[in-house]
Every structure is written in C-alpha cells, then in structure tokens.
Amino acid sequence: MIVRRRWTAAATTAILVSAVLSHPGPGSAAPAAPANPITLAATETALVRVQLRDQAQLDRLVATGADLANRPRARDGRILADLVLSGTQLADLTAQGATAVQIVQRAGDGSRHFAESVRAAQTRTRAGLRAPASGQRTTAAAAAVDTLQVQQAYWWTTSGQTFLQAQLATTATDDPDVEITVSWRTADGATGSFPLSRFEDSGEYQYHYALPQPVPSRPVQLTATSSLGGVSRAVTPSLWPNAAPPALPAGYQKDFIDAYLTPVDIQARIKRLARQYRDLVDVIDLPNQTQGYRRNAAAYLGDPAVAAVVVESVRFGDQGMNGVQVRTVDPGRRNRPLTVSYRDRVLTVTLATDTAGKTVSTTDEVAAAINARQPNRFRATVEDGSAGLPMPVAGPARLDDGLQGTEVPARPWTVQALRLGVHRDGSRVGVLAYSQEHAREWATPLVTLEFAERMLANARTDPATRELLEQVDVFVIPTVNPDGANYSFNDFNFQRKNLVNHCVGPARDPKNRTSWGVDINRNYTVGSYFDGYVGASANCLSGSYAGTAELSEAESRNVVALAESHPNIKFAMNVHSYGGYFMWPPGAYRADGRITLPRPSIDESTLFLNSARRIVGAIAQERGTVTWPSQTGPVADVLYSAAGNSADQLYYELGIFAWDFEVGNDRWNATTGEWEGVGFQPPFDEAHGEAQEYAGGLVEMVRVARDYAAAQAATG
C-alpha cells in the first residue's frame, strides 16, 4: 500500500487555505478514534486543532468560510488544522471522519485568562521520530529516476531537546505520489529517518517538508531518497538561526508587562509614558477616528422560530436608540390599511385587516412599510426563513446594541502612536512597530508596549540603549484596531475584525453579530482582493472580509497616514499571533499561475533573510523559543496569500522593509511527541513569555535599522 503525503493549496474568495493534505490511497485506514474523544457542547465555541480526514473535507471547510487560524500542517501523513468551531460544527466534522486532537482555547478562556492576569498583576512583584512509511515504490517499478535538491537543512536546541528540519524538492514535480525520506546521522553515530510531505500551493508543486523532528544530538549529516530512486547529496545541517544579540548589561530593565491590556488600559499607559519620559516621547493622534465601541440597536419583531422581522436603528444604540420599543398591533377593525407610527420612543406597526377583521400583513410588507415610512430612524429586514409569512401580533420588543462592555467609552476612538527617540524630527532612520490589527490577538500589544518601555527605561541607564535612541526614530502603534479589541475583551473573544458592519439584508440579522466587521489586514491597496489577488473575501461575514473598497476603514488608513507622514520610516514590524512565523513580502498572489507580487531584489532578499536571522536569534535568547526556518520567509511562501495586507502596502508603496511576526510559537510536548498550539489568548504566563521574547526581537530590529543607516551613510 502506498501512503501518500501530499500537501496542496486551495484558493477561494471566502477564505484562503494555502495548504491541503490529500486523502490517503485506496484501502488506507481511517485514524483511530481516541480513547477519550474531545467534544464541545453544541453552543460552545473553541479554537480546536483537528486532524482532518482528507483534502475534500478541507476543501468543503474552505468553501463554507471556515475560520482557519493559521496554515494547516502536515505530520506523518496527517493534516492538522486549527479551526474556530462551535460544538455543532465539531460534531459534524467528527461524523465526517475528522478527529479533534487539542482544544487550544475555549471561548470563555480569554475572559478567564484576562481576569487571572489582572489578579496576578495586583499581587506580583517584579524581580530584577518516526520511521519511513512502508510500501514505497522501488526504482525498478519507476519510469524514471528523479533528482533531489536540499533546500533547507537546519538544527537547533530548545530546552535541552535538539530538533532537525529539512525541506527538499524533487524534479518529478508532476507526480503527486513521489515520497521522500530523510536520513540523518549525529556526531556520535546515532541515525534515524523521517518522511516528508508534499507541499503544493495554488495547484503548483513547491517542495517536500516536515515539522521539526526531535533528534538525540547535533546532526552532522543529512541525506534523502525518493520513491523514484532519487538520492540527494549529503549535506551538513546548519545551526539555526546562528545569530545572537549583544549580551544585556547588568541592571538592564525589562518585564514591564503585568497583565493583559484592553484598549482603555493601553490608552492609559500611553499617557503615563508620555508624562514619565517627556524628553523621549511624543504621542501622535492618528487622523482617522474609528467608529468606536458602538453598534446599531436591533430587535426581533416576532419569533424567529415562527415568523419575524429584524428592526434596527439607523443611529447607534448609544445615540438614544437603546431601549426604543417596537410592536405590531391588531387594529380590531375591518378593512384597515397597514400603517407605521413612531411616538414616545415606541415604533408601532398597525397590521392591515381584511373584510372579516383578520390581520393579513406579511413579514415582507411590514419590513417594507417600516423602511418606507421611517427611513431616518429605522431599517427592517425579513428574518431568514420568514419571507412571505403572516406577520404575527408581537411585542413590544426593546432595541439594544447588544454590547456588554460597560466600562468602554461609547464614542469614536482616536488611535494613538508613541514616538520614541532623542531626535524626533525625521533626521534619523525610522522604525515602526504596530500590533493588534486583529482584535483577538491579545498578546500582540504586550509585545510592542514591553518593547517601548524597555527602550525608554534603559535609555537613562544603559549607554547602548541610549545610543539606539540617539540614532533611530521609533514609532509604536500598540493597538491598530481598538474597537474590535474592546469587543473581543467584552463580548466575543474570538472577534478578528473591526466593528464596522457593511452587511446588508439578511446578513444584518443579530444572530450574525460575531461575524460582522472588516479584516483590517485585508483592507490595504497593494495586491488587494479588488485587484484580483487571493486571500480575502467579498463576503461580509467572512473572517477575511476585505471591506467595501481598498482603505475603506479608518484603522488601515491610520497605518498608511503615519507611514506617509514620516518618510524616514524605513523598517516596520506588524505583530500578529499565533503560530511562530517571521515573514516579509510578497504576501499575495493571483491564483492563475500563482503570480506573486514582484519579488524583492537579490540584495533586498539578502537583507530580509540576514535581518531575520538576527531578530529570530534575539527572540530565542529569552526562553529558547526558535521560529522555524520553514516558517521564515515571504508570507506567500510560508503562510498563505493574504490579499491587501499592510506589509505589502508599506514595502511596495512606500519602500519600507516590512516584516510580520506571528508570536506564540507551538510548544513541543515531549510526552506526546507533538507540537501543540498556544492560541490567541493563552494563559497569561504564556502571553507574558511571548511579550518578553518578541520585545527582544523588536529591539534587535532597531539595531538592524541603525546598522542599515550607518552602511547607507558610509556608501554615500
């Protein structure tokens, strides 16, 4: 039996999934059911790592707009995908042959972890290998012998465990059944092997690879063979990343993050830093106010299980519309017309009657009448499934915006940036660090604020830090998307997008409230959905909804405005979570032929990679976390196509060397022999660790910018 390990990609306008594992060959056994299967309550929502049955199952998830947290991964012939699922959805997947292998995070965990982090902050004091698959085809049965090329062979050690990662390509690119097996040898003579999985993207073969494999010690030789008889040359795996930052001096100050921070908390910290470090800080109010933590008030008029109309206020709920009532009444008389009136904060729909005095208005007629006669106050849509049904006498129902955050100001929000440096006049090379484009990524502003505080606190005591702030102009936007973040903290912790609801018609039904909004990192102009690139959606309920037009959202316009108004910015880092990636442009491609945005020049590609090694090395200094070489590179190559993302905007439009972090690297579980995800809102101890290590990476990016500026000055 041939066990096929094939990794392909599917492009879709709803959600882009750039890696898919094909189904096993005929006769392959389904995965064994776990002794204690993972389940969720029907209405519970969680982030779940799922072993999917086959490519067709993932394709169906893609087509229906599943919320995929990151790129699916291949391991030992399996496809593992992280999905935000309800209990009903997980049960459906399980019935179709999928197996849940890890609950990464439950919907309630975010609030619990936030509360735990706050309690901890109040009391905390700051102290200074598998064997190759059987059944491979022999060379005698093969039509031709292929050639293998080693693209990556790296090793590193984390927490006492050494790992090896390999990536190879075969010249038999059109044969989906080619299998490649890697063999390794250590200095003391230990040997072993593991299989690779085929990776295709947008229908095109890219390479074969595997997740990092544990090995007993430093590997000194790696070779590979294919099922067609191809043999690679022997190579010596290289140490990754083989770069380390300068040693921190005695008394270096760090660990400024005590708890998860809401946008209100972040606003207060920005104010405090500006007051505490007047000589080193400016606060920049970005020009485009966001909608704020506000929504239109809405109610069901009638019973959605029988027949109902959704009535929604034109103004936001906090603008005097929360608590407004809506009702339908029977006039109690014959031959009466359908009428609509609004008085004393009550919208009354008097239903039409026939000659016998029976009400005869339909749901469609009621919705049309409200829209025609009260267009400045209300909009109405027929609830999905209620079209054409008799409208019942119902109500009064109270309109409400549904928002739970009682401590969040209900007003347009001014997004703020910190500007750090001795010379904040544009005369020094600029670096931009920005975070929380995606609301649910709670650890990301902890990274940028920890970085800012390190730079400021140590500028007074550490000559090296002072020198950096003499030579570099630093900009920090801790939360790009404060409205979505407020919603994530107070209402639905898996919220990804902002709060602007561009949906029309039935999609505005309150049952969809956790799916409204625009994906800010799909709303930029370069390589956008509107230009035919993949990785974003026109579906307003999709997690990757691109908006109504390029830069339709205040949040994306703010990032562009800051960069455009400060042309000295030459380096930028967009901080996301989770999964452990380090990426740069191009970040998008067109599906036909997988045509990416233009590739950087050789010199720029070298700068991207060499800088990545330095920054990854700095991250690893904190607790040994290593971003895998297979997850270091252009976005379109190591993650997926992300049409209209901000890094492409900054690089192609403004000439900025723009990178992306995905903090929250998978953690190795030595007991299970599995890499396990940490999620968007891990327990605070993990989020704290992520803040510490990736803040060190941002400090190294400042050194990269300093060295770049010095080299540019030296060459004229």
Give the pLDDT confidence score for residue 88 in this predicted structure: 85
Give the model confidence (pLDDT) of 645-674 as tens digits. Answer: 999 999 999 999 999 999 999 999 999 999
CATH of 148-239, one of 1.10.1760, 1.10.357, 2.30.30, 2.60.40: 2.60.40
Under 8 Å between Cβ of 554 and 38: no
Among 296, 2, 259, smallest CA distance to 133 is for: 2
The catalytic position among 200, 662, 690, 700 is 662
Give the pLDDT confidence score for residue 5 in this predicted structure: 37
Give the model confidence (pLDDT) of 686-716 as tens digits. Answer: 999 999 999 999 999 999 999 999 999 998 7
pLDDT beyond 70 at 125: no
Under 8 Å between Cβ of 499 and 413: no
Q: What share of the chain has pLDDT > 90, as a percent?
A: 78
pLDDT beyond 50 at 418: yes
- In this structure, of 64-73, 310-319, 374-383, 463-472, the range with the lowest mean pLDDT score is 64-73
Give the pLDDT confidence score for residue 11 in this predicted structure: 36
Average pLDDT over residues 156-185: 95
Average pLDDT over residues 606-617: 96
Q: Read off the amino acid at residue 33.
A: A
Give the pLDDT confidence score for residue 113 in this predicted structure: 75
Query: Measured between alpha carbons, how far is 203 from 591 in angstroms, rounded to an integer?
Result: 9
Beta strands 148-158 and 161-170, pairing class:
antiparallel
Query: Measured between alpha carbons, how far is 525 from 648 in angstroms, rounded to an integer?
Result: 9
Residue 78's pLDDT band, with cuts at 50, 70 and 90, is confident
pLDDT beyond 80 at 126: no
**Mean pLDDT estimate for the chain:** 89
Under 8 Å between Cβ of 184 and 193: yes
Query: Measured between alpha carbons, how far is 68 from 17 in angstroms, rounded to an integer?
Result: 8
Under 8 Å between Cβ of 534 and 643: yes
Among 705, 679, 458, smallest CA distance to 580 is for: 679
Cβ count within 10 A of residue 32? 7
Query: Measured between alpha carbons, how far is 509 from 521 in angstroms, rounded to an integer?
Result: 25
Higher pLDDT, 561 or 26: 561
Give the model confidence (pLDDT) of 314-349 as tens digits. Answer: 999 999 999 999 999 999 999 999 999 999 999 999
For 77, 140, 176, 197, the CA distances from 3, given in Å and listed in that order, are: 7, 19, 11, 11
Give the pLDDT confidence score for residue 124 in this predicted structure: 53
CATH code: domain 45-120 is 3.30.70
- In this structure, of 57-71, 114-128, 475-489, 617-631, the range with the lowest mean pLDDT score is 114-128
Note if 693 is an active site residue.
no
Backbone angles phi, psi at 342, to 5 degrees: -135, 120
Give the pLDDT confidence score for residue 639 in this predicted structure: 86
Architecture of domain 279-292+408-499+551-713: 3-Layer(aba) Sandwich (3.40)
* H-state helical runs in 425-518: 444-458, 463-471, 482-490
Give the pLDDT confidence score for residue 45 in this predicted structure: 86
Give the pLDDT confidence score for residue 142 in this predicted structure: 43
Q: Read off the amino acid at residue 576.
A: H
pTM for the model: 0.87
